[in-house]
Each structure stands twice: as structure tokens, then as C-alpha cells.
Structure 1
Amino acid sequence: MGVHPCDQRRSISDYQFLFPAVDFSLIESEEDKLWKADVRETIEELAARGKRFLNWLWTRKEKEIAIVTHSVFLFHTLNALQNECHPDVKKEICSHFANCELRSMVIVDRSMLGSDTWVTDYSGKIPKGSDLPSEAVVDDNNIKVE
């Protein structure tokens, strides 16, 4: 964070006015304490902040959570996890995000499962192309997988 004014968030009061249906009670400070006018966050600091966010995320009871953030934050957070991923997953999550891109993913804390193997119940393959519906999965020969 820092240096660029566009990286500084508004006050929580501003957001509460704009989004009255959103619960901001877990936000610790009214003003953005992370943003500094003269210091830019390093990539390592950004990735560490992302890992702290994921550790907090593991504590949530919700099963589905929408995360809306800057693409750079997601990119460096997910890249910090790349050594924990199967190569196919690594290629998918470690790519840059397009502006306003939506990605759905399931992130599993394997330490909670007692397994360190790459196991999934996903029977298809990663869809080819952009913006395909989840049921439009094709194999390596461009044949639809049912």
C-alpha cells in the first residue's frame, strides 16, 4: 500500500453510507491505516498480508464467500501458495487477472484435512477459453466432458 492515492480506501463511514446493507463491524479502523503517503508495500509484504487474510478466511463459518479486491493483491496472494498446488492448479491460479475478472475457486487448507496429497472430486478439466460456464468443460481434444 502507499504512494498512490488510488490505493487508499475511503473511510468506513463513507462506505456505510454507500452500502447500508453491508456489515462493516469487523473493520478495525475508520481510516485506512495501511496506506502510507511515502512508502510502497513490497511484493513480499503484500504476499504476507494476503496470507494473513487467508488465515483469517479459514476462521469464517461461511461456505461461500465473495472476495472483491485489486487484481495485484489476488495475484501475489495466490502466487505465495503456488508451491502448495498441483501444477495444473498452479498454472490457473498464478496467472494475472484481467480488469473486473471473476474467478471461482475452492481453496482448501490441507492441514485441516490431515492430507498433503493433491486430491479433488472435480471430474472435468480446466475449461478452455474465457468466460465459459462451469458446465462447458472440454478435454484436451476439445470434446465436451459430460
Structure 2
Amino acid sequence: MHNLEKDRNALLSPHLFDAPLTDHGHQQVENLRERLVSSGLLKRVELVVTSPLTMQTAVGVFGNEDKLQNIACSPSIVALEVARDCNIESEEDNLWRPDVRESKEEIFARGLEFMKWLWKRPEKEVAVVSHGMVLRHMLYVFANDCDDSVRHELCKRFTNCEIRTVVIVDKGLV
């Protein structure tokens, strides 16, 4: 799921970890939660993996079980650095350099690292809430073996507040 609208000025503040959602962003969260409840998808999600910079979106959509209709409890939500636009696990941000952007290969490697972590998880229904570019590169990991038309749909640019459902199958088991 691609992240929702945020306050762009807040994104420039070095003091804010997760920029606050705008009023429109809060409305997008509410609309998305209602769509997931009515489709039944919210009941199936066992784990939510989010970038630390998209926590408000993840918690707003998948948390708050008191606001969710017919949901026994909300899924666990885990924030991972590997799902972030840039990695800030340490004071030394090894992904951000003032003169060079993170290369596609570096983003791809991070996506591969995330997918390997995800593959080892016991949960079968996982929601990933992150940034469009990170999601696209994560999906590239699996797109190479797909038909061109499937690869195009899977890896095209995410729109704001977009959800894509992907089934990942171990080819060794087929």
C-alpha cells in the first residue's frame, strides 16, 4: 500500500520522524479503512509491515480496533528500516549522501533483503505500508519471471493511497 498525503513542509523538518498527515490524509486513512473492512481484507491481514515514516498511515488503517467493525483485534504492526525511503538505523545514514542519490541497484538490494525477511515470516497475509519507489523495487524482485504485461502492471508507478494485492509463490513448490 502506498503512503498517504502528508504535510510536505513537515517533511523538511529534521525533528519529525513521521510527518503528520494532512486533513486530506486523515480522510484517505478513513476511506481506506472503510474499503478494507467492506472488502473483508482487513480481517485477513495477520501482520502489517511499515516504514517508520508511514506509521500514522499504517496505524490509522490497520490499528484502532475500537473503530473497526467486526474485527476481533487488529494485526501486529512492525516498523522496519528496510522499508524506509532512506535507512537511518544509525547516526551515519549510509543511504543518504548529499551529492549522490541511492542507486536503483541499492534500492533493489534493500528490496531483496526485505523480501527475504518477509519470506521467512510465518504470517500468510501481510500488508506492507511504505513509499511508492520502495514498493516498486520490492516488486521488481519477483517481476523478472513474469509475463511482460504482468510485470508492467506489478511494477508501474504507485498512485497515492493505492493498494495492490500480490500472491507470492515459491516456484520450487509448484
CA distance in 2, matches of 1:91, 1:36: 29
**Greater RCO, CA 8 A, separation 6+:** 2
Which has the larger share of helix?
Answer: 2
Confirm or deny: 8 A CA contact 1:10 1:32 kept in the other structure: no
Which has the larger share of strand?
Answer: 2
**Alignment correspondent of 1:32:** 88
The number of residues matched between the two structures is: 103
State percent identity of aligned pairs: 38
Specify the SS of the correspondent of 1:66: strand
Q: Is structure 2 residue 126 aligned with structure 1 residue 70?
A: no
Map 1:28-67 → 2, pairs under 5 A: 32-33=88-89, 34=93, 35-36=95-96, 38=98, 39-67=100-128
Q: Which has the larger radius of gyration?
A: 1
Task: Give the structure-2-normalised TM-score.
Answer: 0.46
Paired residue for 1:10, among 14, 17, 21? Answer: 17
Specify the SS of the correspondent of 1:67: strand
Specify the SS of the correspondent of 2:125: coil
CA distance in 1, matches of 2:140, 2:131: 14
CA distance in 2, matches of 1:109, 1:49: 20
Is there any run of 5+ residues in structure 2 with no aligned partner, and where? 1-9, 19-51, 65-75, 82-86
CA distance in 2, matches of 1:83, 1:60: 23
Q: Which amino acid aligns with 2:129?
A: V
CA RMSD of aligned residues (A): 3.6
Note the alpha carbon deviations across 1:40-72, whole angstroms, 9 max, x for none: 211110011101111111101111000000001
Task: Give the structure-1-normalised TM-score.
Answer: 0.54
CA distance in 1, matches of 2:154, 2:120: 22
